[in-house]
Amino acid sequence: MPDQFLIGILFGFIVSLASYYARFLDLSGAVATFILAVIVFGIGGWPWTGPIMAFFVSSSLLSRYGRSRKRQFDAAFEKSSTRDWGQVAANGGIAGVLVIVSAAFPVHDFYPLYLGAIAAVTADTWGTEIGLLTKGKTVSILTLRPVDKGTSGGVSEAGVIGGLSGAGLIALLGSFWYPDFLTAIVVVAAGGIGSTADSILGATLQAQYECVVCGKGTERRQHCAEPARLARGIAWVNNDVVNVVCAAAGAAVAWALMII
């Protein structure tokens, strides 16, 4: 066990340093990733590290891909593609907790819940990034009326297919260490439902601001160097809060489907 933690420290250090220099993470994000990596690798080894690495690497690369085309949407998002500790904790926190809980209660099987949580955040990230890259219209998940690309709570056909593909990748990887077809289906479903919960929250409770200068909708509290006006939602429900709910929903759905 201590050996595995030593490898985890070395591995976490290499991954966070490389991600920092590649600007996938800022300094706070690199520190958070290091801590998460030591916990996940130290306790869970490769079966638990593989899926979360797949999420992290694929999401970082997808955020980077087509950067120039996506720059036009930057103003709408609260955060940039260089992720900070809040984003790391929001996307990986539930997974980290599940690794610790699984070590504390070894009689129970938390691995499908873990995969469900990761599938949900992967589906959310892939859906968002692929939705931004493709043409085709974006509609509100609630009203089904057209909205601007990048609007939280907006969904597109390509985004849904992309999101399910992301969840599928996690299910596939998971089945390498946990070969059970039904579990793989559960993981894809958890990803789809978890990211749908994310979109619904994004369309309802998540804080949306409107710039008082240029009038654009944004997740940012400030726009055009002026404090923006809260147009809907609750001020503290930001993208990170919504992502925590997304991951938790993914784990909860996997848990519910595994016991029925």
* Per CB under 5 A, 223 contacts Zn ion: yes
**Quick one: 83 or 223, whose CB is closer to Zn ion?**
223
Rounded CA-CA distance 151/199 in Å is 10
Q: Which stretch binds Zn ion (CB under 5 A): 53-61, 89-97, 224-232, 251-259?
A: 224-232
Measured from the CB atom, is 42 or 150 closer to Zn ion?
A: 150
Q: Which of 182, 185, 213, 231 binds Zn ion (CB under 5 A)?
A: 213
Residue 120: closest CA among 56, 192, 181: 192
Q: Which of 6, 104, 185, 214 binds Zn ion (CB under 5 A)?
A: 214
By the rule CB under 5 A, 188 interacts with Zn ion: no
Question: For Zn ion, which is the closer residue by CB, 213 or 234?
Answer: 213
Output 64 or 79, the one with its CB closest to Zn ion.
Answer: 79
Cβ nearer to Zn ion, comparing 56 with 209: 209
With CB under 5 A as the rule, give the number of residues binding Zn ion: 5
* Nearer to Zn ion (CB atom), residue 64 or residue 210: 210
Task: Return the range that interacts with Zn ion (CB under 5 A); candidates 51-59, 152-160, 177-185, 220-228.
Answer: 220-228
Q: Which amino acid is at 257?
A: L
Report the alpha-carbon distance of residue 251 to residue 119 in Å, rounded: 9
Q: Find all residues with CB under 8 Å of 108, minimum gap 6, and list them.
A: 102
* Phi and psi torsions of 250, nearest 5°: -60, -45
- Work out whether 83 is an interface residue with Zn ion (CB under 5 A): no
Choice from 6, 22, 182, 224 touching Zn ion (CB under 5 A):
224
**In the set 40, 98, 173, 211, which binds Zn ion (CB under 5 A)?**
211
Could you tell me the smallest distance in angstroms from the CB atom of residue 86 to Zn ion?
A: 23
Please say which residue, 70 or 220, places its beta carbon nearer to Zn ion: 220
Distance between CA 180 and CA 190 in Å, rounded? Answer: 15
How far apart (Å, rounded) are the C-alpha atoms in residues 240 and 145?
Answer: 25
Q: CB 227 → Zn ion: shortest distance, Å?
A: 11
The site for Zn ion (CB under 5 A) is made up of 211, 213-214, 223-224
